[in-house]
Amino acid sequence: MTVSRMEAYKVIKQYKETIIETWMNEVREELPEAKKHDRVALANDIPFFLDDLALVLEGKETNISHESLEHGKLRALFDNYSLLHVLREYRILKNRIFSLLDQEGALQVHEQLIVMDAFDVAVEQAGEMFFQMRNKIESDAREQVEHDISKLQDKDVLKLEFIEGLSHDMKNPITNIKLAIDLLRDKELSEETESILNLLIKNADKTEVLINSLKNISFINNEEGFPVNLGHVDLTNRLESFVKNNRVRADHKIDIQVEEDIAGYWDIEAILRALDNLLENAVRYGDVSRPITVGAHSYQGEQVIIFVHNYGKAIPFEEQAKIFSRLYQVNNSTGVGQGLGLATVKEIAEAHHGKVEISSLEQEGTTFKLVLPVDSRS
């Protein structure tokens, strides 16, 4: 007696849900990344693939690659999924189908070839679509990041230009206020008026510190360092003017010690900014009863040393290696400013292919030096 054989396409149709359920269980067991997805997302287009496979085995024409394209496309959206995961899914499905067909005695040689060919096409189509989608996703992500960075950079430029302009415009009124206070101090004043002037000068000094901090912020995110515009400079003349214009600084006396005819190629505005920061530091921490000295001298005809010296409490040795770091303030800081002044000095020195040095001893005072080449263009 001959036992009738159920045809392969009928087995797939009849056991379709069993195939899918068994396949999903094995996929979740072998691929832990699949566990986070629900049944609908995981099954995806596999039910339609089985329908198409049954039609092909039945001898009917159908586009079996369409479902595989959709499967690869949607799998590309899965987190932590790779092309290897997609290939393993199809391998597990193929093994489930062959196991079931063998069990039912429904698999013949020509049907085995049809199933193998269907899976070859499915893997090729799903793999190619997965690859294309991942490339597109990564490309779109890069474009979005670049767009976002460009927008942020444009905003940053506007902010920095605004800060630079504002800090520059605020500098002159503060200088005029301090000059007016200095003129009033030459007159006979009551004790109450003198107290008011002291309060004004104290707050004017604090405001000046904050303005300088605003100016220093403009380079903090510049990975290329402090921008300089080099040109020929008569340093002796510019330092004399700098000291003359800054002699009205709190109650400190400011002296100058500069050699005649020092000239070279530097960005003088950047250097004066560095000196302004150093002078501010000397005023804040220096001994008010002793003068601050600003000066410059040449060294071996190849370098120029520009310095600011003040007497007062020495900077602890362990602090000296840290004070040029951005946003760092020494322990005896007044809390005014943002710790950018000395970092700016270091950036300016390095932008001129030079360096900044410090010497701080209790009896000798504190000296900051800008050691620069005579010609910073090379």
pLDDT tens profile 114-147: 888 888 888 888 888 888 888 887 787 777 777 7
DSSP secondary structure string, 165-227? HHHHHHHHHHHHHHHHHHHHHTS---HHHHHHHHHHHHHHHHHHHHHHHHHHHTTTT-TT---
Q: Confirm whether 54 is domain-assigned.
A: yes
* Domain enclosing residue 231, as ranges: 223-373
Return d(Cα 178, Cα 205) in angstroms, integer. Answer: 9
User: Residue 221 above 70 pLDDT?
Assistant: no
User: Residue 343 above 80 pLDDT?
Assistant: yes
Q: Using pLDDT thresholds of 50, 70 and 90, give the confidence band for residue 224.
A: low
Q: Using pLDDT thresholds of 50, 70 and 90, give the confidence band for residue 316.
A: confident
Are 42 and 138 part of one and the same domain? yes
Looking up residue 250, the CATH number of its domain turns out to be 3.30.565.10
> Which pLDDT value is given to residue 332?
47
Are 232 and 365 part of one and the same domain? yes
> Which pLDDT value is given to residue 162?
67
pLDDT, average across residues 181-206 = 75
Which of 38-52, 63-77, 300-314, 327-341 has the least mean pLDDT?
A: 327-341
Are 138 and 249 part of one and the same domain? no
Domain end, chosen from 120, 147, 174, is at 147
> Which pLDDT value is given to residue 336?
39
Are 237 and 334 part of one and the same domain? yes
> Which pLDDT value is given to residue 121?
87
Q: Confirm whether 260 is domain-assigned.
A: yes
> Which pLDDT value is given to residue 304?
96
The residue whose two tokens read 């195939």 is 19
80, with CB counted inside 10 A (0-12, 13-18, 19+), is exposed
For the chain, how far is it from start to end, CA to CA, in angstroms?
Answer: 102
Phi, psi of 219 (to 5 degrees): -110, 0
Global pTM? 0.48
Percentage of residues of the chain with pLDDT beyond 70: 82
Instruction: Residue 108: count other Cβ atoms within 10 Å of its Cβ.
Output: 13
Nearest Cα residue to 90 out of 67, 60, 63, 57: 67
Are 228 and 89 part of one and the same domain? no
Are 245 and 130 part of one and the same domain? no
CA dihedral 197, 203, 205, 206 (to 10 degrees): 170
Sequence-ordered alpha helix ranges (H) in 234-295: 235-245, 268-285
Domain end, chosen from 100, 130, 147, is at 147
pLDDT tens profile 259-310: 989 999 999 988 998 998 899 889 888 998 899 999 999 988 899 999 999 9
DSSP secondary structure string, 118-179? HHHHHHHHHHHHHHHHHHHHHHHHHHHHHHHHHHHHHHHHHHHHHHHHHHHHHHHHHHHHHH
Domain end, chosen from 128, 147, 166, is at 147
Are 229 and 331 part of one and the same domain? yes
pLDDT tens profile 74-109: 888 888 888 888 889 899 999 998 888 888 776 788
- Number of folded domains in the chain? 2
